[in-house]
Structure 1
Amino acid sequence: MFDLFVAPLAETYFQKALIGGSIVAMVAGVVGCLVVLRRMAFLGDALSHAMIAGVAGGYLVMKLFFGLEAHAPGMLLGSLIAAVTTVALISFVSRISRVKEDTAIGIMYTGIFALGVVAVSIFRHYIHIDLMHFIMGDILGVADTDLWVSAFVAAGVLSVIILFFRHFQLSTFDPIMAASIGLPVVLLDYLFTTCVSLVVVSAVSMVGVILVVGLLITPAATAYLLCDRLDKMMMLAALFGVTSVIGGLYLCVWLDSAGGGAIMLFCTLQFLVVLMVAPKYGLLARWMRLRNLVPQQVVEDVLTTVLRNGKPAPPELIRKYAGEGKGLQKALRRMVQDGLLRHDDQAYSLTDKGEKEASIVLRAHRLWETYLKNIGTPEQEVHATAHQLEHLDQAQTLAYLNKKLGNPKIDPHGKTIPTK
């Protein structure tokens, strides 16, 4: 068992994959938080596919003009130009036409991707690019050049994020306010999309076109389930990105599978685990909240029953008017915990807080009875109908009824209507 974990670390290819993948995953997780919050996940997919045109262009230029084959800086520059061009075209189309941004993304990235495929096929005698490698990546074949490129890109992008963190934060959550206080929102958007482009470009050679989107989105989405602050979300996303690379590389070695696929499989499994057990937004927490949920109508029926009784009400009386079953017992326990009821001597009485809430419901009931009587509802139906309507949204409804009825003091049965 010990050798399963230690033996791969002695291999040079594993060390390079671990270092390069961790660098890319870390910066992708940080940038991905803003991508997730801005709902721009589709943009990462667009940039990764559009890159093939930039790679083909960069390869062709370096081959024809400088005689260099597979020149990494040239292809990196071409990829970046293609990514920025894609973003500019998407922005242009969505701003000057009625076509929405998501539709513009779909149009432009498929068009530029097709341009790259056509260029590779036309100039196949000059461009020797393995499209399958480009699409699937090769995390286990990381070259020294890839490591340096990813390191410089990560340093540059993280520096931009740190320097303009408050600007990005404000323009992400409230772009209107950001524009009103003088922040260049459009310029910030272009700066951010440039950062996304750089991350995508640096990651494609390792994990491929298809999986780079997952590395950009999934760790950030996992962190989003655990925290509500952007700075903490970014740190957690970076951590989840690194653990995805580590776990995925071990899976790759143990199962003898594709490296990029193993990384994203581990990343997705990690997301599903967090989705299940997240303390606030997880499925188990949601199930617990639903399990402990007490219907508001039951609470209000209990309050009005105790208030009408005029003295501590025994459980038998409450069950008579508020219903039977485990739901009622759960409601009574929750109301005692919330400070609405007191339980002593086998009876329940209202606290000051509970009496205030009960008076609101009783006021609603008697106002509805008065209104129903005025519009000609049969007398035998007034009480039952008012009992159903009293649970409606009370603030605006009661204000309307009170004004409509001329601020009545007593209901049709001669009982006093509680004041507001």
Structure 2
Amino acid sequence: MLDLFYAPLTETYFQKALIGGSIIAMVAGVVGSLVVLRRMAFLGDALSHAMIAGVAGGYLFMKLAFGLEAHAPGMLLGSLIAAVTTVALISFVSRISRVKEDTAIGIMYTGIFALGVVAVSIFRHYIHIDLMHFIMGDILGVADIDLWVSAFVGAGVLSVLILFFRHFQLATFDPVMAASIGLPVVLLDYLLTTCVSLVVVSAVSMVGVILVVGLLITPAATAYLLCDRLDKMMALSALFGVTSVVGGLYLCVWLDSAGGGAIMLFCTLQFLVVLFVAPKYGLFFRWMRLRNLVPQQAVEDVLTTVLRNKKPASVDIIRKYAVQGKNLVKVLKRMTQDGLLTQQNQDYALTDKGYKEAHTVLRAHRLWESYLESIGTPETEVHSIAHRLEHLDQAQTSAYLDKKLGSPKTGPHGKEIPAKIP
């Protein structure tokens, strides 16, 4: 059993894939947190696709100028130029026309991607790029130069994020305030876009277009389900990225499948598990909260029923005038836990807190009855309509009705309208 985990670690290709993938996953996870919070996921996809034009241009230039093939620094520089050009064109189109930014992203990245494909096909005698390798990647065939490039780029990007963390944080959550205190919000946007471009550029040669987008978005989205603080989200996102790489590589070896696909599959499954079990935003706990949820209207109906009874009310009385069916037990239990009711033998009485709330609802009900009578509502319908309206924003509505009606003391049925409790 242990051989299943230990044997792959003895292979050089697995070690390189593990190191390179983990570096990319950590940096992509940290940057991806800002990408997810700023809703820039589509931009990451656009940059990764548009890079093929930069790769082709860098390859062609190094081949014709220096006679070098597959020169990593040259293709890296070309990719970065393509990414920056894509961002500049997207910004230009969205600013000078009525076309929205998401539409401009779709137009520009497909156009530049197409330019790269055409360039590769036209100069196929000079450019020897496997487009399938570019799209799908080859995590199991990581070269030493790829490791060095990813390490340097990762260190540079993380340094920028650490140095300007507070600036990015403020510009992400409240850009208006950031601008008002003098932060260069536009410059920070371009700096973040440059960081995303560098991560994408350094990762595509190892993991391909599809996987780099996945590592940029999915681990960050997984961490987003578990925490509400940016620093914790970044740390968790990096952790989920690394576990995706480790789990995916083992899955790849055990199933003899494509490395990039296995990593992305493991990453997605990881997200789905967290989506289901996350304690605050997970589907299971959300279902549990909804299951235990008690409607406010039912609570207020019980309170007024007990108040009108003028003594502890039995379950039968509450069921007759307030809540019917199986929900009554759940409502009474929750109200007792919230300190609105207290149980006396088999009956329920109001606590001081419950009395104040019941008093407020009853006052709203009788003010509504008075108002409905004043506008000519048939007497037979006054009570039922007021029963529905009494739950609406009681404090402000009651104050408005009381002023409009001249602070009446009794309702249309001769019953006293309770005074407002200070």
| TM-score tier (shorter) | over 0.9
Task: State the percentage of identical aligned residues.
Answer: 87
Counterpart residue type for residue 141 of structure 1: G
Contact 1:26 1:237 in 2 (8 A): yes
Shift of 1:31: 0.5
Shift of 1:406: 2.5
Shift of 1:394: 2.5
**Structure-1 separation of matches of 2:255 and 2:340:** 59
Partner of 1:350: 350
Contact 2:302 2:323 in 1 (8 A): no
Counterpart residue type for residue 76 of structure 1: L
**Structure-2 separation of matches of 1:403 and 1:113:** 67
* Aligned 1:256-295 pairs, distance under 5 A: 256-295=256-295
Shift of 1:397: 2.8
User: Secondary structure at 2:98's aligned position in 1?
Assistant: coil
User: Secondary structure at 1:343's aligned position in 2?
Assistant: strand
Shift of 1:398: 2.6
Counterpart residue type for residue 34 of structure 1: L
Shift of 1:212: 1.3
Whether 1:154 and 2:146 are equivalent positions in the alignment is: no
1:197-252 per-residue CA deviation (whole Å, 9 max, x = no partner) reads: 01111111122112211110000000000001000000000000000000000010
**Structure-1 separation of matches of 2:214 and 2:352:** 54
**Structure-2 separation of matches of 1:253 and 1:18:** 12
**Structure-1 separation of matches of 2:324 and 2:154:** 62
Partner of 1:222: 222
Contact 1:245 1:263 in 2 (8 A): yes
User: Secondary structure at 2:343's aligned position in 1?
Assistant: strand
Partner of 1:380: 380
Shift of 1:298: 0.9
Shift of 1:392: 2.2
Partner of 1:65: 65
Partner of 2:211: 211
**Structure-1 separation of matches of 2:225 and 2:122:** 47
* Aligned 1:401-412 pairs, distance under 5 A: 401-412=401-412
**Structure-1 separation of matches of 2:401 and 2:203:** 63
Contact 1:50 1:112 in 2 (8 A): yes
Partner of 1:166: 166
**Structure-2 separation of matches of 1:7 and 1:245:** 17
Shift of 1:25: 0.3
Shift of 1:136: 0.4
**Structure-1 separation of matches of 2:256 and 2:360:** 68
**Structure-2 separation of matches of 1:401 and 1:96:** 52
Counterpart residue type for residue 321 of structure 2: Y
Counterpart residue type for residue 132 of structure 2: M
Partner of 1:326: 326
**Structure-2 separation of matches of 1:176 and 1:39:** 17
Aligned residues: 420
TM-score, normalised on structure 2? Answer: 0.98
> RMSD of the alignment, in Å?
1.0
Moved over 3 A (4+): none
User: Secondary structure at 2:112's aligned position in 1?
Assistant: helix
Contact 1:368 1:389 in 2 (8 A): yes
Whether 1:336 and 2:336 are equivalent positions in the alignment is: yes
1:287-316 per-residue CA deviation (whole Å, 9 max, x = no partner) reads: 100110111111000000111112221222
TM-score, normalised on structure 1? Answer: 0.98
Partner of 1:87: 87
Partner of 1:22: 22
Whether 1:184 and 2:195 are equivalent positions in the alignment is: no
Partner of 1:98: 98
**Structure-2 separation of matches of 1:95 and 1:101:** 8
Contact 1:206 1:260 in 2 (8 A): no
1:129-181 per-residue CA deviation (whole Å, 9 max, x = no partner) reads: 00010010000000000000110111001111111000000000010000000
Contact 1:274 1:282 in 2 (8 A): yes
Partner of 1:393: 393
Contact 1:304 1:362 in 2 (8 A): yes
Whether 1:366 and 2:366 are equivalent positions in the alignment is: yes
* Aligned 1:113-132 pairs, distance under 5 A: 113-132=113-132
